[in-house]
Amino acid sequence: MLLSLSFHFDYYPLLLVTIVAWIVPILLSLLRLRKIPAVIVEIIFGYLLGHFVLTNHATVSFHILEFLALTGFIFLMFLSGLEIDMDQIIASFPRKKLNYSRFVANPLLVGIAHFVIAIALSYGATLLLARLINIPHVWYFSLIMGTTSVGIVLPVLKSRGELSARFGQMIIISAALADILSIILFTFTAFIIKNGFKVELLYILILFFVFYLSYRLGNRIKHISHLKKLVFQLSHAASQIRVRGTVVMILIFVVLSQYISEEVVLLGSFLSGLILSTLLHKGRSVLMIKLDGMGYGFIIPVFFIMVGMQFDPVALKEFDQSLFGFFGLLLLTLFLVKIVPSLLWTRLFGMQKTVAAGFLMSSRLSLIIAASAIGLQLGVITPGINASFVLMAVITCLLSPAIFNWVNPVKLAEGEKTLIVGGSSTGVLLARRMNIHGKKVIIIEKDKDRFQEINSKGLLIVSGDGADPDIYKKLKLTPENYVVVETGDDKRNYEIVNFLRNELLHERIIMRACKMPCVEKLTRLGVVSIDLHRILATAIENLILRPTTYHDLVETFENYSVEEITITNKAMDGKHLKEVPFHSGAVLMMITRDKTSFIPHGETYLRLGDLLHIFGTPTALQEVRKIIQGKPEQ
């Protein structure tokens, strides 16, 4: 069979769709509207494109767009699964006898309770709404109202530096569980609606069996040294073996889902992302960049633009005079079914933060649109209700983060923080990298134009002079806070460092130094200096002598990090290292005792005050911290 390349396909509609996908982020950046999700604007532009530009275009062209939109939807569900950190969920499994205090402090248990209460409230609210409008299937409608968008919740918490805090962990785990449980319930419900209660319903369990096999097999394969070397060699240039392998895995789950039933594809694509999330650690950041490029760079925008193109405002006429009343009640209900269950957190965080969390959990995006579209195909959602849910997704994505930040404003001066004096490119890059670790970083910038530019990027920044004592009083500088001085001007840097050290008597100061005389002056001041020439030479040395190790450490900084943790738990004093139940995702590299560092072994005795140098994932480091610092388990 010869390959036939036909150039008769009309690429004009696809050209317009890609232009919209390309221009939307640029417009949001130019208009300084970066906090508005791009997908919302893509839906709006898609509506304009479909109803005013491509009104009389060939049907075959739309079939191509529909195929790409479906592929984008599958990839979106895959990335939704990939966003979920299963390590955090697994780490939350209760390990002690439960009482009420431990229940409300456990993110996993409260997350499940939050979802159950939300679904129960949604069902009751749907029964009331059914008196106002025609709702063909009450249960399916209530499932749609119970959804949450991890894709909105995660960036909001990360930008505020709250992702690793207890408050942020509670919210993100609840949102992740809402995604997981919603997709499972949608799959079973859609299958039953289409096929009824049949034995074939058990076929869905095959997906979970394949998920388990993939997890076990993947954990064995990734430790084979020869395979790891081969994958590293083929991960670049034309091979891109990791990307190809990911696509294969996605399609295995999708094709298997299609053999079971079309409605199971949602679950299959989500599970493929979840399995990769459980397996990936090393190399994840590089692969994530490539997968995000494939998804958000091309096929996922096609999905959202097509949602806008197929949005039919005429369908809203089915509500007649009750349209605005229904809209108001639906929006109110979508907020209440998330705010009321969030009251479970009141004892831990107080009413203000609890209500704010409820508003953030009310944001809905991809899942509500996808579930509504599936319901429309099944005939359990009317065209008017489908159009309403698309509008609700747009409204909640705009309102929820804004209300969350308004009800629970960021308190710059509170908690652990790092100050960066100067908004240079190096300072901004450092702030971004620290934010990825969930650390709060505040930039101090004197230049007003540079302040506005950095502020528009969503980083925490205050306007002020690094040599002004009032700015440090305002930010409540404590001896534990690090101050990084990086204005871009060596002379100015030294003046600020000298002021901090001699006037404010602050000790934790870091500054870069390009010349040896400057290093000597900083050493006399007791300031940590960064020798750029030495760092550059060391980096090149590592690239030559140990390239694989260097790339793994540099390219996976958001998944692995090194922490210095001091032993403060008296129960650890005098114990053999082999007796300490370290998390499997953490490795103890070195111990510092009395200013002397050494590599430990199983028979090494631990002492109070020992400084442990530990390499591992954020979840593993959190568990280790609980053990060696004597913090009570949640």
Domain with CATH 1.20.1530.20 in the chain: 12-407
Residue with tokens 């895959």: 78
The string of DSSP letters for 69-111 reads: HHHHHHHHHHHHHHHS-HHHHHHTS--S---HHHHHH-HHHHH
Q: Start-end ranges of CATH 3.40.50.720 in the chain?
A: 418-532
Tell me, what's the pLDDT at 547? 74
Q: Give pLDDT, residue 185.
A: 92
Give CA–CA dist 419/484, Å, rounded. Answer: 6
Report d(CA 621, CA 599) in Å as an integer.
19
Cβ neighbours for 398, distance < 8 A, ≥ 6 positions apart: 36, 40
Can you say whether residue 196 is alpha, beta or left, with left for phi > 0 and alpha for psi between -120 and 50 degrees?
A: left
Per-residue burial over 193-206, b = 16 or more CB atoms within 10 Å of its CB, e = otherwise: beeeeeeeeebbee
Fold classification of 560-628 (topology level): Alpha-Beta Plaits (3.30.70)
The DSSP-derived string for 368-392 is HHHHHHHHHHHTSS-HHHHHHHHHH
Burial (CB < 10 A; 0-12, 13-18, 19+), residue 42, is: buried
Closest residue by Cα to residue 68 from 146, 24, 15: 15
Q: How far apart are CA 241 and CA 229, in angstroms?
A: 12
pLDDT mean values, one per 10 residues, the chain (634 residues) = 61 88 87 78 89 72 82 88 76 73 83 94 92 89 89 78 77 88 90 84 87 84 69 64 86 90 86 83 60 86 89 83 84 94 90 93 87 88 90 90 87 78 86 76 88 80 88 87 86 86 87 72 77 75 73 58 82 82 76 83 83 78 80 46
What's residue 354's pLDDT?
Answer: 93
The token pair that represents 599 in the structure block: 């590599």
Residue 447 corresponds to which tokens in the numbers above? 């230049």
Kindly state the DSSP code that residue 163 receives in the 8-state scheme.
S
Q: What fold is seen in the domain 418-532?
A: Rossmann fold (3.40.50)
**How many of the other CB atoms lie within 10 Å of CB of 619?**
21
Q: Residue 634 has what pLDDT?
A: 40
Name the strand (E) or helix (H) holding 320: none
- CATH 3.30.70.1450 maps onto the chain at 560-628
pTM of the model: 0.72
pLDDT, residue 283, reads: 42
C-alpha–C-alpha distance, residues 294 and 75, integer Å:
9
3.30.428.10, 3.50.50.60, 3.30.360.10, 1.20.1530.20: CATH of 12-407: 1.20.1530.20
What's the pLDDT score for residue 132?
83
Q: What angle do CA 135, 138, 142 make, to 5 degrees?
A: 110
CA 65 – CA 59 distance, rounded (Å): 10
